[in-house]
Amino acid sequence: MLRKNESLAAEVRDIALADVVLIFAFAFTLVGGALFAGSTSLSGFLALIPVVALAVTLSFVLHELMHKFVAQHYGAMAGFRTSYSGLMITLVTGFLGFLIGIPGATMIYASNFTKRENGIVSLAGPLTNFVVFAVFLGISFAINPAPGSYAGSAIALTMEISILLAFFNMLPIFPLDGSKVLYWNRPVYFSTLAVIFVLMMLYTSLPLIDIAFMLIIALVFSIMYRHIL
């Protein structure tokens, strides 16, 4: 029991550390990096932190936890583990104004996973981001916050980060979730990706160059995966 509690405590520390690093990395990215942070006052930057914390925590932590819980449902051992090299890359790139977020991942240990089970476990993370997006979209319609208000910014940023994280993870590049979902079921993969892509285009106004940049980051992540995580 002590070992189990110690393992859980270590996992909580890992995911909390990864979350904090991602929050500050995202915040720096949103202001164009530390070199351009001078255009944003210190009070403005500090006011941005709670908004980013809400968006990142719901999008990232719930994504990883859902991978864990669904994997455990199928009898696997699973837990989040940080990568100190990945944490450094996340923080440094955010500091420079662009983000390669690889603070860690949910590690899954299973000797008898079927292709279907592995696909469902992988799909659970992006679908969680979709649910977060849908909930905040509903909140937006319900309260109709004023454009530019603090509440409006929090809702919009949470929606944006959630759907972007869903899209990024659904790219068919190993070890991202999309590669495993595609291997399991092509119709499920393409229909899920299509819905997420449409929502991303409607609610993020993401330029094509940024989508290309996400693809480059995914390829870099794939190359570095075995050396970083």
Among the listed ranges 31-40, 102-111, 173-182, which one has the minimum average pLDDT value?
Answer: 31-40
User: In 105-120, which positions are buried (b, 16+ CB within 10 angstroms) versus exposed (e)?
Assistant: bbebebeebeeebbbb
**Per-residue confidence at 211, pLDDT binned at 50, 70, 90?**
confident
Helix pair angle (2-30, 42-56), 10° resolution:
130
Look at residue 205 and give its three-state secondary structure.
Answer: coil
Among the listed ranges 7-16, 29-38, 51-60, 153-162, which one has the minimum average pLDDT value?
Answer: 29-38
φ/ψ (deg, to 5) at 204: -125, -15
User: Amino acid letter at 83?
Assistant: S
Q: What is the pLDDT of residues 1-31, one digit of tens each?
A: 434 555 888 899 999 999 999 999 999 888 8
Helix or strand holding residue 42 (H, E)? helix 42-56
The structure tokens listed for 109 are 């240990």
Distance of CA 181 to the CA centre of its chain: 17
Residue holding tokens 């662009």? 98
Other residues' Cβ atoms within 10 Å of the Cβ of residue 12: 11
CA-based nearest residue to 187, from 128, 119, 117, 113: 119
- Cα-Cα-Cα-Cα dihedral sign, residues 47, 94, 14, 72: positive
**pLDDT given for residue 58 in this prediction:** 96
Helix pair angle (208-228, 150-169), 10° resolution:
60
Task: Give, in order, the Cα–Cα distances in Å from 25 to each of 48, 76, 153, 158.
Answer: 12, 32, 18, 15
Is the pLDDT at 79 greater than 70? The verdict is: yes
Is the pLDDT at 69 greater than 90? The verdict is: yes
**pLDDT given for residue 82 in this prediction:** 92
Other residues' Cβ atoms within 10 Å of the Cβ of residue 129: 26
**pLDDT given for residue 222 in this prediction:** 67
How many CA atoms does the CB half-sphere of 17 hold within 13 Å?
A: 18
User: Which range is most confident: 33-37, 88-92, 219-223?
Assistant: 88-92
Helix or strand holding residue 71 (H, E)? helix 62-73
Distance of CA 92 to the CA centre of its chain: 17
pTM of the entire structure? Answer: 0.87
Q: What is the pLDDT of residues 160-190, one digit of tens each?
A: 999 999 998 998 888 889 999 999 999 999 9
